[in-house]
Amino acid sequence: MNIFNIAMKEIKQDFRDIRTLVFMLAFPLVLMLVLGTALSNAFTDSIKIDDIKVLYLNTGKGDISQYFNKFIETAGKSGITFTKEKSNMDGKNEVKQGNYDGFLEVNQTGVQLYLNDQNSISGNILQGTLTAFVDKYNIASAADKIAPEKVLTVFSSEHKTDFIKETSVLPNKQPGAMDYYAIAMTTMIALYGAISASSLINSERVRKTGDRLIIAPIRKSEIFIGKVLGCIVINTVCIALVIACSKIFFKAYWGDHLGMVFLVLLTEILFAVSFGISLSYISKSSTGPRMIVMLVVQLASFFGGAYFKIENPEGIFKLITKLSPLTWENSAITKIIYSSDLSAAIPAITINLSIAIIFLFVAVISLQRREGL
């Protein structure tokens, strides 16, 4: 009963602290919104291409001219705009000046394409499209000798093209900017729980209320467990609210295994709380634990990808990123959400609980050696 009362006291006290609530809730949500909006282009593999403008001169006669006109009609439906060269225009110079993406010259000897190297993507598209036209022209020429009535069907877009159906065995699911920062900010704010944990005992010492607790008919173990339990509960509630707000307001995707994701986050909270409270016993000053926690959390957030996505680190930087708790937390949660790999939670949970037990053991030993709290 004493443990429950002490835990409830910690929960009520934290809920009354408006600054703490604002920090634990507003801080990650604001960062999520700002970073997720500002860096949205960094999380997409798609490239937007405007309509391709082509200047052409058709001096061909007979079949090639007829087939080329059919080609222009078909290609125009795919976003390629063809403009006929006027008498006062120099096609090559227009491409050089960047007014057109390419200049196409068609005559009896064949087809010539002139491109501006400054836009390689449009040039590659034009080359691929023109290659397809030349291949069709060769087929049409061969068909004209055997079945002339079938020639125009070669250039028709109505024939069946879905002979091959492509299905991905492992869909390439990747988080968008808002999805990524929803995960990163949630794991980061869970690690910030170490700050409040570092003040659990120090606050009693500073306010001189620790002596009252010691002389009260309460064991030190009950005080310790009650405070730790209350801190874990309040941080868990904050994390749950951050996840809920990110889903409702920012439409962040948390997958179909939210229970397993929450379990990983719960062990991270336990890790953070044990880290903070152990520092409060190791440090001899009242302000030392908070400063150390702030430094560690900021470094872990920076190297753990909380502020920007870290891809393929090398050398010493790779080793440093692996030492950040956020690295294994974010990796495990991402795999659970986007690959349904529930086994990815095992390493993260194991590491969190192992380190948490070590820190709690240090705190308990220090508590037993002290006369007071």
**pLDDT one-digit tens code per residue, 303-312:** 998 988 888 8
Q: Is the pLDDT of residue 93 over 50?
A: yes
By the 8 A CB rule, do 199 and 292 touch? no
By the 8 A CB rule, do 61 and 89 touch? no
Please report where in the chains the tokens 């030492």 appear, as a residue: 323
Name which of 2-16, 195-209, 221-235, 335-349 the model is least confident about.
195-209
Report, as an integer, the average pLDDT of 54-80.
73
Proportion of the chain above pLDDT 90, given as a percent: 32
Position with higher pLDDT, 148 vs 36: 36
Tell me which amino acid residue 277 is: I
Band of pLDDT at residue 367, cut at 50, 70 and 90: confident
Position with higher pLDDT, 286 vs 319: 319
CA distance 60 to 57: 9
Please report where in the chains the tokens 């282009």 appear, as a residue: 41
> What residues does CATH 3.40.50 cover in the chain?
53-155
By the 8 A CB rule, do 39 and 307 touch? no
Report, as an integer, the average pLDDT of 263-275.
95
**319 by DSSP, 3-state: which?**
helix
Q: Is the pLDDT of residue 165 over 60?
A: no
Going by C-alpha positions, the residue among 100, 51, 44 that lies closest to residue 79 is: 51
Report, as an integer, the average pLDDT of 327-337.
94
By the 8 A CB rule, do 34 and 181 touch? no
Q: What is the dihedral of CA 93, 96, 98, 99, to 10 degrees?
A: 10
Surface-to-core class of residue 314, CB atoms within 10 Å of its CB (0-12 exposed, 13-18 middle, 19+ buried): exposed
Please report where in the chains the tokens 């050089």 appear, as a residue: 96
Band of pLDDT at residue 253, cut at 50, 70 and 90: very high
Q: What is the overall mean pLDDT for the chain?
A: 81
Fold of 53-155: Rossmann fold (3.40.50)
**Euclidean distance between the first and final Cα of the chain, in Å?**
20
With residue 100 as reference, give the H or E element that holds it: none
Position with higher pLDDT, 135 vs 343: 343
Report, as an integer, the average pLDDT of 359-369.
88
Q: What is the pTM of this model?
A: 0.69
For residue 258 the two structure tokens come to 């939210």
Q: Is the pLDDT of residue 92 over 60?
A: yes
Band of pLDDT at residue 223, cut at 50, 70 and 90: confident
How much is the pLDDT for 175? Answer: 84
CA distance 46 to 86: 36
Band of pLDDT at residue 140, cut at 50, 70 and 90: low
User: What does R_g of the chain's alpha carbons equal in angstroms?
Assistant: 33
How much is the pLDDT for 164? Answer: 47
How much is the pLDDT for 169? Answer: 45
Report, as an integer, the average pLDDT of 62-67.
68
CA distance 224 to 230: 10
Name which of 7-11, 117-121, 367-371 the model is least confident about.
117-121
**259 by DSSP, 3-state: which?**
helix
